Structure 1
């Protein structure tokens, strides 16, 4: 795993003083120094520039500057042309994508069926990937050149979400990618894509720098050069924008977002997110690494019992989390997707706190006095993530659980979660773009041959739910697929508590006056979504 990003920030007092002095004196519209340079303060840089190393929103967002998928998702996750100008379903097992003849790699080479075939073969098989793209690619049995710029993709089973899944898989050049390792991408040697920007430089913890691709076949980005500066601490990002050190920041703390919104020198942008924040529970191992009796002695893993998992869910006050910890920048969750998302159920609303019911369930499961558990999570990935973990541990203490907390920086947290080192872990995932995408990756049993359960960190497994998911993912009829999805979700959330749904975030950005940003439901911060104010 690449090293986690370094914290590039000044000591606390000097930074505050510097921000105050500069904010009082500067003229913000000219702060960038040049209309063609955009400096973006992000919570973290990518864990790797290899576009297939990890199916993580942050990595995919950075990859989308240099590379493109066949089709791409817009700000509301509707499919739009990218490398392919058109696509269609031929039959239940066959899709066709028409390659835009103007889509060319940075070396001038056109995109071919061979490049697409090479990409699909590579994407799910990158060594040491902490989160594989196998869920999107392993269903593909053949990629064929149908002539006239048409690429035909055949699948093992009917796959209604193929185009949506492939929208996250960046097409790479076979010429430059064959034999290339993740290290070659990180060093820039293999960074030859078709995207709106060309790679300039990057090292873990340092800015990602890119320049506009003059031969790009799509809309021309508003800025000729972009610098993504990793600033993990939210307060430091706010200070950097206030001081004019950056032009745009993401993931703005709730109280600071309101301040920027009311200051004429800045503008803001926000959008409801499709990202569910939830807890994974080790429901597989006979003994779990961070579960013990209250006296510290070993105990059979109580998280294997659905009654215990449901008790833990009922002991969480989601309204308090969203109102007090997140200051209203979240929506309590009872489903795997936000309201209105394809496959959601209107009646699967967030459950209310029920300590009495939770205690009864614990007693029924044989743990009337509770047990000890450590809650893990990141401290620099989600809005106030460490505060959320602390609050959940306190809520469980009221249930009689001896809950402790350990949070870690994103890089370490991702690596350890992938290695199944946690018993309970705060996580986040965005379904793509149906609830079925959540079921396939987070709820289905871990199955590498099918490319399912690829992010199922608790290793939850239920054959009946698996069967519903597999039927849904092979159903091309939308109404029937939605019905199967709703039933699988109901069983997973209400009956089995495969995971504990907490809330959906609200995505936020703030920027200096003169810069615009189109807010996105998928949380991606893309330079091509930024523009100049009229």
Structure 2
């Protein structure tokens, strides 16, 4: 299935196509959680990269129908089936006034692909880069797959001189606590510039009047305000203390819809939410790891009632799934989108057979990552307890829990994946399901390893025929499903809500904010 053919422009929701207001405007954006870092290479987080795309840009980007279009590169071609040649946009300035040239692209690609880079998994086909002249670069790739262009939509360009002058040529790493100048400072080419940042309080962007692209917004100041409490976030919108909120609590959508001054935009996200397992030899306390026995993983899945979670916790707005990827992601197979009804008795029998009755473990959850995660974690823990497990929930904000997960210091955990930037199953397969090795398995937090799956992923990377690649991806996804490397729960709902001042906003199923399209009314 081609994502270009299936993801229609309808995914981009516009509240109004009225004329752009002439005066400059401030937009106050209430968000469920703060960003992790101002360094786009510091963590492979969609929300972090989406925010930073207001400041930084890549060589290419997606248009409103998710097709590749020029950004800092004006054209590109595959040469001799070995490398991509990019012609760069001339006349572009960084926020500090420096000229954009090929040197910046070379430094930025090398930084993102550095062995220490948490973002290196976003460019598994990359092999090297060289400058040809001031406005031409060539990038070596391991295969001629056009997925490389999708990959680099998330590879943002820094000013090489700025990196060197500030001793930040190496990427930072949020999970490892490694910071650098780019953690708290920026210098991009994008539509907005950083004015100030107070972590967990407010980050302020101001318009870049020197942006090279045509302006479709009238926002001169964007105030990003993390509001972790759902009730407080709703109250801020209802009282007009903020102009819009992401992650509008689904239990409050009817209340918001009843207010004539508020508009609700709801979609099913491309993101799939999973429960996954630590697959190391032992658990954190040194006990033998019961989840290395597939019967225990099967018992775990048999205990989970996806439909009940959707009805009771997700208000019927999620899409319960047996598939590891959403239907609109290339590589989706309806044959893999199946799951059995919950069966606690079956779970108990499997645990007994495995000699793991009363299996105790810690279930690490976050209260500000996936939609209603705190509630569905408690629901799943209750289901597991009834089936004979003995879970203990470790709940906390993602700023605390995400480093634990990244370091493998978890036993059972949640993870969600939207298959960005490729919008193809190769993203999940190469970054999450593959064995951790170089650019592969960067987000394999459980430490699992299935050589047969790895072989298929590498074959898919080398395939030049899209149909062949998709067939290989389906085989690999079947192995992951049969092995229960992770248990898909659902594709989650997303909801944004705006006040009366917001005239136009672009919200798509990838749940990325793009405020260079936001228009505030008079």
How many residue pairs end up in the alignment?
484
Runs of 5+ unmatched residues, structure 1? 1-33, 291-297
Q: Which segment is superposed worse, 76-85 or 66-75?
A: 76-85
- Structure 2 counterpart of 1:108, from 97, 112, 118: 97
Is residue 54 of structure 1 aligned with residue 43 of structure 2? yes
Of 148, 152, 160 in structure 2, the residue corresponding to residue 166 of structure 1 is 152
| Distance (Å, rounded) in 2 between the aligned partners of 1:148 and 1:403 | 58
8 Å CA contact 1:377–1:385 kept in 2: the answer is: yes
Q: Does residue 68 of structure 1 match 2:63?
A: no
Write out per-residue CA displacement over residues 99-146 of structure 1, whole angstroms, 9 at most, x where no aligned residue: 22243322333322221111111123386x6xx111134643332334
Query: Alpha-carbon deviations, 1:288-347, whole Å to 9, x = none?
Result: 126xxxxxxx74211012222122112111111112111123111211211132101112
CA 1:315–1:346 in structure 2 vs 1: closer, same or farther (change >3 Å)?
Answer: same
Structure 2: which 5+ residue stretches go unaligned?
1-22, 169-178
TM-score with structure 1 setting the length: 0.86
Q: Does 1:200 align with 2:195?
A: yes
Range moving further from structure 2, 414-423 or 149-158: 149-158
Please name the residue that 2:463 is paired with: 475
Equivalence for 2:327: 339
TM-superposition CA deviations, 1:196-228 (whole Å, max 9, x none):
011101021121111111111123232011100
- Asked if the contact 2:122/2:431 (under 8 Å) is kept, the reply is no
Task: Sort the Cα spacing of 1:192 and 1:299 in 2 relative to 1 into closer, same or farther, 3 A.
Answer: closer
Match of 1:389 in 2: 377
SS in 1 for 2:53: helix
Q: What is the alpha-carbon distance in structure 1 between the residues aligned to residue 67 and residue 346 of structure 2?
A: 41
Deviation at 1:147, TM superposition (A): 4.6
Contact 2:142 2:462 in 1 (8 A): no
Query: Are 2:231 and 1:235 equivalent residues in the alignment?
Result: yes
Q: Which moved more, 1:95-104 or 1:47-56?
A: 95-104
The equivalent of 1:260 in structure 2 is 256
Q: Choose which of 64, 75, 79 in structure 2 pairs with 1:86.
A: 75
Q: 1:42 to 1:527 in 2, by over 3 A?
A: same
Paired with 1:475 and 1:487, the residues of 2 have a C-alpha distance of 14
Could you tell me how far apart the structure 1 residues matched to 2:381 and 2:251 are? Answer: 24
- Measured at CA, do residues 261 and 69 of structure 1 come closer, stay the same or move farther in structure 2, by a change above 3 Å? same
1:486-525 → structure 2 map (5 Å cutoff): 486-493=474-481, 495-515=482-502, 516-525=504-513
Q: C-alpha distance in 2, partners of 1:156/1:484? A: 17
**Residues 533 and 320 (structure 1 numbering): CA distance in 2 closer, same or farther, change over 3 Å?**
farther
- Aligned partner of 1:457 in structure 2 is 445
- 1:350 to partner: Cα distance: 4.1
SS at match of 2:445: coil
User: Who is 2:209 aligned against?
Assistant: 214
C-alpha contact 2:365 2:374 (8 A) present in aligned 1? yes
* Counterpart-to-counterpart distance in 2, 1:533 and 1:326: 33
Please, which of 418, 427, 432 is the counterpart of residue 430 of structure 1?
418
1:247 alignment partner in structure 2: 243
Q: Are 1:445 and 2:435 matched, yes or no? A: yes
Corresponding residue of 1:175: 161
- In structure 2, relative to structure 1, the CA distance for the partners of 1:90 and 1:473 (3 Å cut) is same
- Return the alpha-carbon distance in structure 2 between the equivalents of residues 262 and 522 of structure 1: 26
In structure 2, distance between residues paired with 1:210 and 1:201? 7
Q: Which residue of 282, 306, 316 corresponds with 1:318? A: 306
Alpha-carbon shift at residue 71 of structure 1 (Å)? 1.1
Three-state SS of the structure 2 residue aligned to 1:202 is: strand
Partner of 1:404: 392
**CA–CA distance in 1 between the matches of 2:342 and 2:459?**
34
Correspondence for 2:289: 301
Q: Cα distance 1:180–1:342, how it changes in 2: closer, same or farther (>3 A)?
A: same
Shift of 1:502: 0.8
Query: 1:358 pairs with 347, 369, 373, which one?
Result: 347
Partner deviation per Cα, 1:62-106 (whole Å, 9 max, x = no partner)? 211111011123455432322122333334331122222243322
**Cα offset, 1:530, TM superposition:** 2.1
User: Which piece of structure 1 moves more, 311-320 or 479-488?
Assistant: 311-320
Cα distance in 2, alignment partners of residues 314 and 96 from structure 1 = 51
Alpha-carbon RMSD: 2.1
